[in-house]
Amino acid sequence: MRLLYQLNVAFTALIIVIMSITAFFIYSLLTDMLVQDELRQLEGRANILRGIANEQNPSERVAKLSQFIQDSNFPMVLFDRYEEEVLFSTLPNETAQTWVENYDNELIEEEVWESHQGESYVVYDLGFAPSRSGMILVIATPLDDLQAVQSSFAGRMIGVFFIGLMLAIVVSYFLTKRLVTPLTRLKKELKKIEKRQFDQVQTVKSSGEIKEVERSVRQMAYELERYITSQKQFFQNASHELKTPLMSIQGYAEGIRDGVFEREAADKGLTVIVSETDRLKKIVNEMILLAKLDSNEDVYHPEETDVVEVITQAKDRMVPLAREKNIVLHFEPSEAFYTYVDSERILQALINMIGNAIRHANHQVTLNSFVKNDTLKFLVTDDGKGIPDDLLPQLFERFIKGKGGETGLGLAISRAIVQRSGGTILAYNNEGTQGATFEITLTRRMAN
């Protein structure tokens, strides 16, 4: 069943349940409301009778009482509760006598009395002064009259509820259709993503949570397109990077085998083969490491680490390279910053960054660390020519090499390690001066 019909059925069932429960309670309370209203009317009549009974002139009192009884035309019983004697009644004698006999034991606190034939009456009883006389006047209304009013009201209520139900179903259909239509269009856009037609994905007009889902779908399409593009570029670059050393190895190996290279040339060829083999091995190992860092394989082992101490270790290891290139390596450490990271992986990322800065610096590389609250910022700044504008957006992609680069995987590995450590890494050219700055931000993490 389509979602549109499922929602309509669900809304309709909910409306029917709510309206049925409402109708049940209204119908149940209606009898009590009618009984209470009738009791108030009976009390009014009783007050009129009490006023007539208090008339001083006996003849006038009898005349008014007789006229009131003839005009009112409602059941009435007058009896002596002590003698259990019916003095006057407009009801059958059996009913009147039954009420008299059961008045003190059963009926005195009740609002509805039953006749000897099973008929029910709403009654109001009052005593005449003096109270010791035992004179009780009972005024009644047949409950059947009230039930007829109740049935008439219930019929109208059912009609109103039926009309309301139809209107609610129609409104529910249009609202549901308005809700489902964006989902239907979103489904079509997802089909385009499934077929990798990313350039054909369009915006779906919607609101609320559906709008948020629609934005997430478009963002997912963008990320998938970027990922697929990067993967294609990765395989192209990887094939190129692997092809170059393999061609060198193959060329020298075949030359040595065929006797093209002899003696010194052969030795040189073997040296090139070993060198290219090491380079090939390094590329493959770095590719494997990147793949493991991107997955959930157990290559990252966090422990409580002072990152500032790790920065010091990275700086010490890069001193020989800096001296070799006549670069001054300056470090301004901050206070200790403890967090749960893999110290060996963080050290590897820092060495890659510092080594990259040394290769591109003219005279000096400066390392700075700053700790604020639960955040550490580490900056690597060189005074070189800076990062070319066309290279800057993709600097951390795989096999993207600047001038003097080696495998093109070092910065990609650094980014993967920093992200695995819950941090961020970025690069930018220095404003107003030469060179570039690499910035790592780490947030304090707790042990898992």
pLDDT attached to residue 440: 93
User: What is the number of alpha carbons within 13 Å of residue 415 lying toward its C-beta?
Assistant: 16
Residues 6 or more apart in contact with residue 240 via CB below 8 angstroms: 399
Q: φ and ψ at 428, to 5 degrees?
A: -155, 155
Cite the DSSP H helix spans in 54-142. 58-72, 93-102
pLDDT attached to residue 339: 92
Separation between Cα atoms, residue 191 and residue 176, nearest integer Å: 23
Tokens of 156: 């109208």
Distances (CA, A) of 314 to 218, 306, 310, 327: 41, 13, 6, 16
Give percent of the chain above pLDDT 70: 85
pLDDT higher than 60, residue 62: no
Domain boundaries, given as residue ranges, for the chain:
3-149, 208-294, 303-443
CATH 1.10.1740 fits 3-149, yes or no: no
| pLDDT band with cut points at 50, 70 and 90 for residue 63 | low
The secondary element (H helix, E strand) that includes residue 338 is: strand 338-341
Comparing 231 with 316, the larger pLDDT belongs to: 316
Separation between Cα atoms, residue 307 and residue 440, nearest integer Å: 11
The pLDDT tens digits of the residues spanning 21-35 come to 887 777 777 777 777
Secondary structure class of 130 (helix, strand, coil): coil
| pLDDT band with cut points at 50, 70 and 90 for residue 408 | low
The pLDDT tens digits of the residues spanning 70-101 come to 656 678 888 888 888 888 788 888 888 888 88
Average pLDDT, the chain: 80
Q: Pairing relation of β-strands 76-80 and 135-142?
A: antiparallel
| pLDDT band with cut points at 50, 70 and 90 for residue 400 | low
pLDDT attached to residue 217: 84
pLDDT attached to residue 168: 78
Separation between Cα atoms, residue 386 and residue 64, nearest integer Å: 117
Q: How far apart are the first and last CA of the chain?
A: 45
Secondary structure class of 121 (helix, strand, coil): strand
The pLDDT tens digits of the residues spanning 368-389 come to 999 988 899 999 999 988 888 8
Identical fold at 3-149 and 303-443?
A: no
The pLDDT tens digits of the residues spanning 203-226 come to 887 777 777 888 888 888 888 887
pLDDT attached to residue 402: 60
Separation between Cα atoms, residue 285 and residue 442, nearest integer Å: 26
Separation between Cα atoms, residue 76 and residue 64, nearest integer Å: 16
Q: φ and ψ at 396, to 5 degrees?
A: -95, 10
CATH 3.30.565.10 fits 303-443, yes or no: yes
The pLDDT tens digits of the residues spanning 155-178 come to 777 888 888 778 877 877 777 777
Q: Which amino acid is at 114?
A: E
The pLDDT tens digits of the residues spanning 318-367 come to 999 999 999 999 988 888 999 999 898 899 889 988 988 998 899 999 99
What's the CATH number of domain 208-294, 1.10.287.130, 2.40.37.10, 1.10.110.30, 3.90.400.10? 1.10.287.130
Give percent of the chain above pLDDT 90: 13
Separation between Cα atoms, residue 370 and residue 337, nearest integer Å: 9
pLDDT attached to residue 366: 92
Separation between Cα atoms, residue 232 and residue 238, nearest integer Å: 10
